């Protein structure tokens, strides 16, 4: 597959609305200037019987400006409103001409724009044709509801666009094949070839103004279906017109009769489309092979990443376990020394021993977090349910965090649940979740602040709400705080320590037990974490 050609095709189609609006604006502007300033002269249109009248040029100019204002869904609201107003004006313009043509009663609108100049060229510049008026009405309706929030109105807009496109395309085919009945509904008026081309451009531009719907979505798709559609659609439009013209030309000069021409048309069309389909299928096949190779590479890379992740988990588990053993011994020896078993301990020594114990327990907590994280990553963490009083779990968690809050000068408030409230759950995991959330709340709350824990139950579920008056979390970080090893304060000089695993581990444990953790926060106004677990 040729990537540059595909990119170029998508590039053009994405800007087709803008291109159509600009080209039609320039053509119609030049036509109106010609009618306004050039001296009267005999006119002989290059193709067909009619030329673009001032009425047609003005109508298409309004449509082109409206299309440019609504060229895609991301334009400002005022631009869409102005586009809708111009579309409504165009539809009224077309309806007035339709009333004139169908009723035979003159409303005087034919002479509004350069009426005398038009009368001078009456043989080729008659009144606005019935097909042109119908096309303008449909284009106006399509522009009014092009970006409507209603699916039904957008469908009407799309249908109007397609019908107007068919009217203009029929006229263009009539000019190519010399069949006047397709573009001139009477000897006095009809659709000019330039008007037909301009209307086709406007309708195509409207179809691509909404790139997520219909044909535009298919043609702009970078997958195989989009590639195939972009290659087949031009052939489906151009080939029948060219071969049909050759058929009529050969029949007119006597090379073959009607049956011979039809037979040659069928053979030529079949050959061309078989070639186009085969070539397009080859391109799509090449794209599929390339996509398959990329998929194989992605799978290999995924397997390597999973292997590296598994190795990381195993490393963390082994190292955490090895570190836990000497840490437990350190804590044990500290307790022996503090109890005076090895000899008298002075008050100063006792203070130093308490600091050793606090640091060792903090390090042990960090290691436990890493162990839990590695077990959860490897899928080896198990939920062991048992019936326990909820108040007992809450009291244990608060008891572990209370010294940290006291040392920092943070008020820790608890709304204890009734002693009769029990739950069948894993108490160790619930306690770990609450300890992590309360520790984080204390850590990010300034001295003199407040941290509260509220416990509620109902509808077969338990809810633990941890609120703090701390620094808060920016809105863009509310989801990232649950990522492993990620912390709000990422700088090396951050004030709060920790591994960045507490919230990640807590959410994993909550989800393993059938619950989840939600968070609300605002910078400078604290944070609220809500743990919901099945009871």
* 92 vs 331, more confident: 92
| Alpha carbon 361 to chain centroid, angstroms | 48
Q: Is the dihedral of CA 520, 525, 527, 530 positive or negative?
A: negative
If pLDDT is split at 50, 70 and 90, which confidence band does 115 have? low
For residues 508-517, give the mean pLDDT. 86
- Report whether pLDDT(426) > 50: yes
The radius of gyration of the chain's CA atoms, rounded to the nearest angstrom, is: 39
If pLDDT is split at 50, 70 and 90, which confidence band does 4 have? very low
Q: Where are the alpha helices (DSSP H) in 44-150?
A: 54-69, 77-103, 115-120, 130-144
- Residue 244, classified by CB atoms within 10 Å of its CB into exposed (0-12), middle (13-18) or buried (19+), is middle
If pLDDT is split at 50, 70 and 90, which confidence band does 41 have? very low
Return the pLDDT at 492: 46
pLDDT tens-digit readout, 212-268: 777 788 888 777 777 777 878 888 888 888 888 888 888 888 888 878 888 888 898
Domain edges within the chain:
3-220, 224-240+252-380, 386-534
Yes or no: domain 386-534 corresponds to CATH 3.40.50.720: no
Return the pLDDT at 84: 93
For residues 405-429, give the mean pLDDT. 84
pLDDT tens-digit readout, 474-497: 877 777 777 766 665 555 444 455
Question: Helix, strand, coil shares of the chain as percentages rounded to 5?
Answer: 65, 10, 25
Q: Is the dihedral of CA 361, 364, 366, 371 positive or negative?
A: negative
Q: Residue 426, SS3?
A: coil
Strand partners, 451: 412, 468
If pLDDT is split at 50, 70 and 90, which confidence band does 95 have? very high
Residues 389, 462 contacting (CB under 8 angstroms)? no
pLDDT tens-digit readout, 462-477: 889 999 988 888 877 7
* 144 vs 251, more confident: 144
| CA–CA distance, 287 with 292 (Å, rounded to integer) | 9
| CA–CA distance, 227 with 216 (Å, rounded to integer) | 13
pLDDT over 70, % of the chain: 84
Contacts of 429 (CB under 8 A, 6+ apart): 383, 509, 512, 513
């Amino acid at each position: 597959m040729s990537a540059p050609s595909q990119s170029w095709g998508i590039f053009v189609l994405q800007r087709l609305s803008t291109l159509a609006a600009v080209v039609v604006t320039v053509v119609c502007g030049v036509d109106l200037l010609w009618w306004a300033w050039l001296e009267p002269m005999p006119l002989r249109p290059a193709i067909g019987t009619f030329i673009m009248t001032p009425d047609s040029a003005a109508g298409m100019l309004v449509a082109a400006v409206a299309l440019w204002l609504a060229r895609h869904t991301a334009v400002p609201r005022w631009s869409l409103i102005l586009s809708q107003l111009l579309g409504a004006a165009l539809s009224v313009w077309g309806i007035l001409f339709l009333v004139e043509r169908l009723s035979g009663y003159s409303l005087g609108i034919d002479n509004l724009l350069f009426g005398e100049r038009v009368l001078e060229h009456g043989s080729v510049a008659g009144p606005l044709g019935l097909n042109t008026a119908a096309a303008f009405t449909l284009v106006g309706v399509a522009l009014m509801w092009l970006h409507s929030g209603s699916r039904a109105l957008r469908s009407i807009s799309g249908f109007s666009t397609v019908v107007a496109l068919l009217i203009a395309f029929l006229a263009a085919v009539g000019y190519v094949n010399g069949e006047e009945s397709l573009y001139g509904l009477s000897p006095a008026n009809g659709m000019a070839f330039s008007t037909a081309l301009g209307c086709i451009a406007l309708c195509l531009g409207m179809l691509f103004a909404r790139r997520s719907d219909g044909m535009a979505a298919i043609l702009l798709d970078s997958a195989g279906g989009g590639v195939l559609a972009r290659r087949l659609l031009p052939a489906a439009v151009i080939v029948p017109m060219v071969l049909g013209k050759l058929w009529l030309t050969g029949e007119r000069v006597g090379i073959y009769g009607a049956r011979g021409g039809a037979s040659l048309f069928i053979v030529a069309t079949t050959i061309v489309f078989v070639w186009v389909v085969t070539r397009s299928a080859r391109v799509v096949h090449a794209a599929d092979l390339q996509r398959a190779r990329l998929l194989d590479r992605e799978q290999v890379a995924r397997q390597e990443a999973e292997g590296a992740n598994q190795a990381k988990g195993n490393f963390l588990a082994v190292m955490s376990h090895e570190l836990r053993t000497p840490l437990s011994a350190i804590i044990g020896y500290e307790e022996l020394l503090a109890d005076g078993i090895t000899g008298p301990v002075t008050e100063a020594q006792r203070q130093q021993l308490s600091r050793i114990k606090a640091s060792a327990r903090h390090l042990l907590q960090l290691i436990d977090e890493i162990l839990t994280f590695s077990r959860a990553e490897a899928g080896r963490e198990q939920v062991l349910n048992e019936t326990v009083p909820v108040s007992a779990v809450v009291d244990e968690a608060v008891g572990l965090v209370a010294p940290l809050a006291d040392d920092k000068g943070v008020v820790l408030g608890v709304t204890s649940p009734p002693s009769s409230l029990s739950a069948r759950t894993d108490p160790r995991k619930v306690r770990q979740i609450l300890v992590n959330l309360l520790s984080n709340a204390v850590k990010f709350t300034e001295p003199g602040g407040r941290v509260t824990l509220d416990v509620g139950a109902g509808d077969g579920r338990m809810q633990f709400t941890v609120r703090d008056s701390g620094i808060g979390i920016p809105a863009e970080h509310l989801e990232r705080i649950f990522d492993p090893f990620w912390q709000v304060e990422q700088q090396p000089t951050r004030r709060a320590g920790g591994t960045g695993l507490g919230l990640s581990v807590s959410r994993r444990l909550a989800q393993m037990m059938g619950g989840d953790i939600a968070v609300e926060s605002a910078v400078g106004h604290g944070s609220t974490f809500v743990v919901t677990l099945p009871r």
